[in-house]
Amino acid sequence: MTFPSKATHQQTRAHNAALVLRALYDFGPISRADVARLSGLTRTTVGDVVGVLIDDGLAREIGRGPSTGGKAPILLELIDGARHVIALDLGEFVFRAALMDLRGQVQRTIERPVTGVSGDEAVDVVHELIDELATGSRETLLGIGVGTPGIVDAATGTIRSAVNLNWQDLPLADILRARHGVPVQVANDSRAAALAIELFSGRRSTNLVAVKVGRGIGAGVLLGGELFHGDGFGAGEIGHVVVDDDGAECRCGRFGCLETVASSRAILLRTTEAANEQPDSPLGRRLAASGELTLDDVQVALDAGDETTRRIVVAAGRFLGRMLAGVIGVLDVERIVLHGSVAELGDVWLDAVRDEAHRRALRLLAGDVVIERAAPIGDLVLLGASAVVLTAELGLSVGR
């Protein structure tokens, strides 16, 4: 057990700087007096911190605001383009990288297909993407953020296990830091997305669960405004909880995991089976024409009112809702946000998720929880990877 000791002078300064930055980030343009009021710091401390931020090129004065009686106050704002972050989303088929400013505005995006790429070769692709984006922006580079599938030790940036990439105990943050010379944060992709929803959707929640429902299923849990990682960095790994005792084999090797009944893979497997059984149905004809169904085909069939497709999508949604009822029971969070390719399927799916979660959770708790789709604010994993860097380097999650 570690015992909290008195903060060092340096820690206090970093904490104060983070409080001021947070006020500028969330409420700028803003006066020094209002920063002091919001942060609880003295005006002298705010003045000192602001001076350093202006010297560092992170903030600037933009003239006087409206007077509230006395002399009109000078307003301050954060300079969004003062620093940049390189964010990466190590997706299953494509690695994507973006150069972003402090607001998550994308300056440039590049990508590489990685089907069949794993191990050291996959690390080389990460280096290449960073090299390409860092050219010309090294001086303003605040850090690199990586969103990756798998179990990630977020404290050290070590990937304990990412099955598809064949990475075991890979110290990715150390490797990238050594090569590129800037701070590096590595986070599980679902956790990164949760942070993005929190930081960039314009609506802060103290407690939030964000569930990514695509080929895989995973959740990010924010408690008290901070990402909760769990003792083994696996908090939110709901995709591999067994929910169907007679279920199909999962890619993790077990049978009947949530992913085998509620992921896009599961939905496409079921609809393909149905299409094979009913070759004259809309999906049957679609399958015959293209050889493979996609979620877009499922969407078209849903919109056309195809009953078989509706039943398959509802069943998938209900399995997820059942899991969410458990999440609500344990955490009593006020908000659950759903994102990923399956969440795009629309209200048929969302209604099934909500209905099942509300039906199974304790009425008192379930009545209050909002289950909704994520706002379309951009690529959540990329935004999240940058959010992890902003949080670590500028303390933007401090002081809520």
Stretch of 33-41, 253-261, 293-301, 336-344 contacting Zn ion, by CB under 5 A: 253-261
Residue 98 Cβ, how far from Zn ion at the closest point, in Å? Answer: 30
CB of 210 to Zn ion, least distance (A): 20
Q: How many residues sit close enough to Zn ion to count as binding (CB under 5 A)?
A: 4
Stretch that binds Zn ion, among 155-163, 239-247, 304-312, 350-358 (CB under 5 A): 239-247
Smallest distance from the beta carbon of 331 to Zn ion, in angstroms?
Answer: 22
Please report, as a single letter, which amino acid is at residue 76. Answer: L
- Give whichever of 238 and 313 is closer to Zn ion, judged by the CB atom: 238
Residue 243 touches Zn ion, criterion: CB under 5 A: no
User: To the nearest whole angstrom, how small is the minimum distance from the Cβ of residue 361 to Zn ion?
Assistant: 24
Report how far residue 360's alpha carbon sits from residue 352's, in angstroms, rounded to the nearest whole number.
Answer: 12
* Cα(6)–Cα(86) distance, integer angstroms: 34
**Nearest distance, CB of residue 45 and Zn ion, angstroms:** 51
Is 265 a binding residue for Zn ion by CB under 5 A? The answer is: no
Region 50-89 residues binding Zn ion, contact defined as CB under 5 A:
none
Q: Does 250 bind Zn ion (CB under 5 A)?
A: yes
The residue range among 30-38, 234-242, 298-306, 383-391 that interacts with Zn ion, by the rule CB under 5 A, is 234-242
- Selected from 49, 257, 343, 380, the binder of Zn ion by CB under 5 A is 257
Residue 393 token pair: 């380097």
In the complex with Zn ion, the residue whose CB is nearer, 190 or 308, is 190
Q: How far is the CB of 94 from Zn ion (least distance, A)?
A: 23
Q: Which listed residue (14, 106, 248, 252) binds Zn ion by CB under 5 A?
A: 252
Token pair in block for residue 10: 């340096």
Instruction: Candidates 194-202, 252-260, 278-286, 369-377: pick the segment binding Zn ion (CB under 5 A).
Output: 252-260
How far, rounded to the nearest angstrom, does the alpha carbon of residue 82 sit from its chain's CA centroid?
23
Smallest gap from residue 75 Cβ to Zn ion (A): 53
Q: Among residues 241 and 300, whose Cβ is nearest to Zn ion?
A: 241
Q: How far is the CB of 234 from Zn ion (least distance, A)?
A: 13
309/303 Cα distance (integer angstroms): 10
> Contact region for Zn ion (CB under 5 A) — 145-153, 170-178, 237-245, 318-326?
237-245
Distance CA 389, CA 393 (A): 6
Residue with Cβ nearer Zn ion (195 or 250)? 250
Distance CA 295, CA 214 (A): 10
Binding segment for Zn ion (CB under 5 A), chosen from 153-161, 222-230, 251-259, 265-273, is: 251-259
> Residue 242 Cβ, how far from Zn ion at the closest point, in Å?
8
Query: Could you tell me which stretch among 66-74, 177-185, 223-231, 242-250 binds Zn ion (CB under 5 A)?
Result: 242-250
Of residues 217 and 222, the one with the C-beta less far from Zn ion: 217
Nearer to Zn ion, 176 or 257 (CB): 257
Of residues 248 and 377, the one with the C-beta less far from Zn ion? 248
Amino acid (1-letter code) at residue 47: G
Q: Which of 84, 180, 240, 270 binds Zn ion (CB under 5 A)?
A: 240
Secondary structure, 3-state, the chain: CCCCCCCCHHHHHHHHHHHHHHHHHHHCCEEHHHHHHHHCCCHHHHHHHHHHHHHCCCEEEEEECCCCCCCCCEEEEECCCCCEEEEEEECCCEEEEEEECCCCCEEEEEEEECCCCCHHHHHHHHHHHHHHHHCCCHHHEEEEEEEECCEEECCCCEEEEEHHHCEEEECHHHHHHHHHCCCEEEEEHHHHHHHHHHHHCCCCCCCEEEEEECCCEEEEEEECCEEECCCCCCCCCHHHCECCCCCCECCCCCECECHHHHCHHHHHHHHHHHHHHCCCCHHHHHHHHHCCCCHHHHHHHHHCCCHHHHHHHHHHHHHHHHHHHHHHHHHCCCEEEEECCHHHHCHHHHHHHHHHHHHHCCHHHHCCCEEEECCCCCCHHHHHHHHHHHHHHHCCCCCC
**Nearest residue (CB) to Zn ion, 52 versus 241:** 241
Nearer Cβ to Zn ion, position 146 or 250?
250
- Token pair recorded at residue 232: 């083994």
Contacts with Zn ion by CB under 5 A lie at: 240, 250, 252, 257
